[in-house]
Structure 1
């Protein structure tokens, strides 16, 4: 229907909700097409999978099955171009899809200012498939001859420390001693001071080494830091920040310093109201927040309302993300670190709450099982 052709690119947290509510969009006269990979790997469970506590399938959602279950056309191909003037999306096969509204929920990629990702044995924190491959590679090496593998994690934020903890958990589950070094200017700087002290002490007790610096280069058996020193390294994990995928830059629309699309509280681009964006690839002007899944989840109902309102003249709803939010780090050893503002708790209950929330989200987002009559 003219004016109501909606194309969803990506299957992040918010778009999963839209898929499950596709009937509401159709009732509003909105014609929906999804362009996304056939499978979604939920980031909230990535650390649990990397540590060996969970199997990879625990974090997977079959997007093709979900789209089929809710009657949404699905193109499982990468997007290679978006023509905003003509309002066309082009996928890898050359096929084009016209749109009246385009919504982007395509996540983020690992920041790589020094061009390290293309080098041998460098593992970016995203896409999440890279962490699954890292786990498989480590387990293969350990099973073969129990050899020590020196892993360097470049970065000191929440994700970097969680990856370091997960690598310790993976080594411990495989009966080898962890050999993990975290290199950052100030590991854990964003944590409340008391939580930082407790977490770094816990990781140190498990064998993690903390080294001050910035990784800028890679060579066989080592990684190079900005001060010219070299740290022994077999595998390098890039976890020093996230950036928006290159597709966002290709739109030639205003972005922030991390390349995330700047949007209004309606989640429409500040310069092109036909373009919506949510999750890690976007940032709301005046409400800047880190790239955390909770915001995509909370934004989803408002996205649904605004997209269902296409063409009927209803006012758009505004999303103003909360100032404080719950974040729980999986420490890879049956403990978690729960954080909300300056409040924190480290222990088993925190991890059990994380598992309850994350596994529950994956379960709710999966395609419903067929009824007995089908």
Structure 2
């Protein structure tokens, strides 16, 4: 019987990375159902090159697998979240601080953590991200010895890598008596690494072996002494035909092997074949792993020695060359998924999918409607009732996060009027897929919407659902479209126009969302830059509005910077104000990390060319106090999703606001009227 529901890939380990590569290069093999990868970081580090990273031989980018881009190429949704457990009865993957994800089939490749030894203190080498951060904070000239605890292959390789990284800092390797052979001791001695057996240490890194994350055992599965889930030869968990596992978090009960990247890589194809088979109602295939794994251990000085089982060789430069070829070949396999060129047109999503200003205004004029309007409609009453509507095609493939971002963006229109959001109604268009998967997408989307409303004391009071009649994309979550009608109230709405001479112009957050997501679609954005932008976008700005309310009459005008970019929305403020000039300070306008570099490369959102019409404001009432770079000019018209508030207020109010909250940055000042 073929299980229904989504296929979830829990963890971005080597097996899953190679599985995604397989589907990216051969899309016909990908199961015809919703597939989601869940990982705590947007990148996965290739473990074979981590010692080289520690040694300073490689840059982090050289061993980082860009998971969102890989997922995009494979037609798989990406969810960045911390996994906290599995409810096998309800078939839910439990996540930290967000709703669980339902599954029909689940594959686990969540890696391992350093084994906890209660009598030892120090920073565990796994998870790698935290260990790398710890090492970056160390002083290479510190005369105090740095200790590596654990003399297995990993501990020895890390110790030798640290010697290359810190040529002069004293290093100690804590071992057990009689643990090392003469060859290994000789290599360590030549590297001036002292072997010690006492348990007293200062700064230390724990390389004491690995175990699976504890939530696996806590979820009720059969595990070995290291907490690794037990599987059969089909890579299925014992007793669960729809649950699979590979990599360091799992072990085949009948053919146990120690945790190793070699078996994680080798299991990728049999795992892929069996996941494809169970999703297609076909027979599964048994896998027999090799008995021993060949390991090449770098010495940190352009040599390596070979370890297979209990046999080993001496250190040779030829073996280091072989290791480098193997490692570079592994990473090169992911670069075969060539990114689209920067000049290739990309249909951007989110607010960058809105209609350009020129055809929009022309259509409104033809229909006899106002082309200039406030951010939200004032329905009257005391206090004033305000209403706005907003929505766009899914910006990200995570439906919960997309629902949250869409709601934050929609609420921004009311925040720009000084209103408190009270309620919302949603229209959700779902892709034409199996009803079980539609139900899960709707649940995740509405949970994301509610997460924003609840923190403001607002509620979702109704809505409507539709099924799309357009072709369903891959991943299917990108077929979601969400629109929201948002209601709020305020005693006195702030106008969009109304800038006065002497007003300070303040921005509440950086620009550059449009180009970052355009670059992410092309596979050329750095995952850490997109992650940083999403962290900012994911923060509600309603608390900023609470702070603004204290300044009352000192707030003269406000808007939110969205699809038309800073210059386009500043132009709307000017059209609603008395004749006035604006001096804009381009050097004070902040950009999200990586945005200016991408603009320098000629990358831009698909809405940016139309937004460049707003450059005409620079020939009239908007003056720049410094000569801008081309990248800065492009930043001024970059479309924003969940963008900043743009505020015009008295200089005294601006000074108070900036002193109270570092989010506010003054980017300009209003002068006298223009002719």
TM-score tier (shorter): 0.7 to 0.9
Q: Which residue of 1 aligns with 2:339?
A: 369
- Of 37, 47, 51, 2:51 maps to 47
> Residue 220 of structure 2: which of 249, 252, 256 is its match?
252
Residues 1:163 and 2:153 aligned together: no
Distance 1:200 1:258, change over 3 A: same
Aligned pair in 2 of structure 1 residues 103, 311: CA closer, same or farther (>3 Å)?
Answer: closer
Q: CA deviation at 1:147?
A: 3.0
Unaligned runs of 5+ in 1: 190-195, 214-224, 226-230
Show structure 1 runs of 4+ deviating over 4 A.
186-189, 371-374
Structure 2 CA distance for aligned equivalents of residues 323 and 287 of structure 1: 9
Q: How does 1:59-208 map to 2 (within 5 A)?
A: 59-114=63-118, 116=120, 122-138=122-138, 141-142=139-140, 146-172=141-167, 176=168, 178-186=169-177, 188-189=179-180, 196-208=181-193
Q: Quick check: 1:34 aligned with 2:37? A: yes
Moved more, 127-136 or 270-279: 127-136
Shift of 1:336: 1.1
Distance 2:42 2:293 in 1: 30
Give the corresponding residue for 1:11: 12
**Where do 1:318-357 residues align within 5 Å?**
318-341=286-309, 342-357=311-326
Structure 2 CA distance, aligned partners of 1:29 and 1:271?
26
- Residue 270 (structure 2) aligns with: 302
Superposition deviation, residue 74 in structure 1:
0.8
Aligned to 2:497: none
Query: Partners in 1 of 2:324 and 2:54 — Cα distance?
Result: 14
Q: Secondary structure of the residue that 2:278 maps to in structure 1?
A: coil
SS in 2 for 1:113: coil
Equivalent residue number for residue 376 of structure 2: none
How much does 1:323 deviate? 1.2
**Could you tell me how far 1:166 is from its partner in structure 2?**
1.1
1 CA distance for matches of 2:284 and 2:117?
38
- Residues 365 and 331 of structure 1: is their aligned pair in 2 closer, same or farther, counting only changes over 3 Å? same
Q: CA deviation at 1:14?
A: 0.7
8 A Cα contact 1:336 1:347, kept in partner: yes
CA–CA distance in structure 2, aligned partners of residues 245 and 94 of structure 1: 19
* Equivalent position of 1:218 in the other structure: none
Q: Deviations over 1:316-348 (max 9, x none)?
A: 111211112210111111111122342524111
Q: Going by fraction, where is helix more abundant, 1 or 2?
A: 2
Offset, 1:252: 0.8
Q: CA deviation at 1:313?
A: 4.0
Deviation at 1:212, TM superposition (A): 2.8
Contact 2:175–2:197 at 8 Å: present in 1 too?
yes
Superposed displacement of residue 96, structure 1: 2.6
State the Cα distance separating 1:184 from its structure 2 match.
2.2
Question: Can you list the C-alpha shifts for 1:208-245, whole angstroms capped at 9, x where unaligned?
Answer: 111235xxxxxxxxxxx3xxxxx3x3311111111101
Q: Which has the larger radius of gyration?
A: 2
1:108-159 residue CA offsets vs partner (Å, 9 max, x unmatched): 1001121756xxxx22111111332233123xx23xxx33231111112111
CA distance in structure 2 between the aligned counterparts of 1:185 and 1:343, rounded to whole angstroms: 19
Count of aligned pairs between the two proteins: 337
Q: 1:10 to 1:262 in 2, by over 3 A?
A: same
Counterparts of 2:130 and 2:55 in 1: how far apart (Å)? Answer: 14
Question: In 2, are the aligned partners of 1:180 and 1:208 still within 8 Å (CA)?
Answer: yes
Q: Deviations over 1:27-73 (max 9, x none)?
A: x4343111112111111111111111222222211111111122211
CA contact (8 A) 1:158 1:188 kept: no
User: Are 2:208 and 1:240 equivalent residues in the alignment?
Assistant: yes
Is the CA contact 1:40–1:63 (under 8 Å) kept in the aligned structure 2?
yes
Task: Check conservation: 1:109, 1:242, Cα contact below 8 A.
Answer: yes
When structure 1 is superposed on structure 2, of 359-368 and 302-311 the one drifting more is 359-368
Residue 259 of structure 2 aligns to a residue whose secondary structure is coil
Q: Which runs of 5+ in 2 are unaligned?
A: 346-675
Name the CA shift for 1:201/1:343 in 2 (closer, same or farther; >3 Å).
closer
Q: Deviations over 1:167-201 (max 9, x none)?
A: 111112xxx2x411112224655xxxxxx322211
Distance 1:69 1:187 in 2: 50
Tell me if the contact between 1:25 and 1:308 (Cα under 8 Å) persists in the aligned partners.
yes
- The alignment's TM-score, normalised by the length of structure 1, stands at 0.84
Q: TM-score with structure 2 length normalisation?
A: 0.48
What SS does structure 2 have at the residue aligned with 1:309?
Answer: helix
| Counterpart Cα distance in 2 of 1:198 and 1:10 | 37
Higher relative contact order (CA 8 A, sep 6+): 1
Do residues 287 (structure 1) and 228 (structure 2) align? no
Q: State the superposition RMSD in angstroms.
A: 2.1
Aligned partners of 2:118 and 2:15: how far apart in 1? 32
